[in-house]
Amino acid sequence: MELSSKAVHERSLSRKNRNKKYLTPLSQKSSEDIWRILLQINIRF
């Protein structure tokens, strides 16, 4: 149980770091717009 939750946490951390890498050059506003678009795409699927 503890191991799996740790793995999930690390996976989410690496995902955050990857997203940070892509979003860093963008302004906060445009990154928020990108997240809104991604959410809309996810909702559609």
pTM of the predicted protein model: 0.31
Higher pLDDT, 44 or 5: 5
pLDDT score recorded for residue 42: 81
pLDDT score recorded for residue 34: 80
Which residue stretches of the chain are H helix?
Answer: 2-23, 28-44
Sign of CA dihedral 18, 23, 28, 32: negative
**Distance of alpha carbon 14 from alpha carbon 9, whole angstroms:** 9
- Give 38: exposed, middle or buried? Use CB within 10 Å, 0-12, 13-18, 19+: exposed
pLDDT tens column, 12-34: 767 766 666 655 555 666 777 88
pLDDT score recorded for residue 12: 74
Are 21 and 31 in contact by the 8 Å Cβ rule? The answer is no
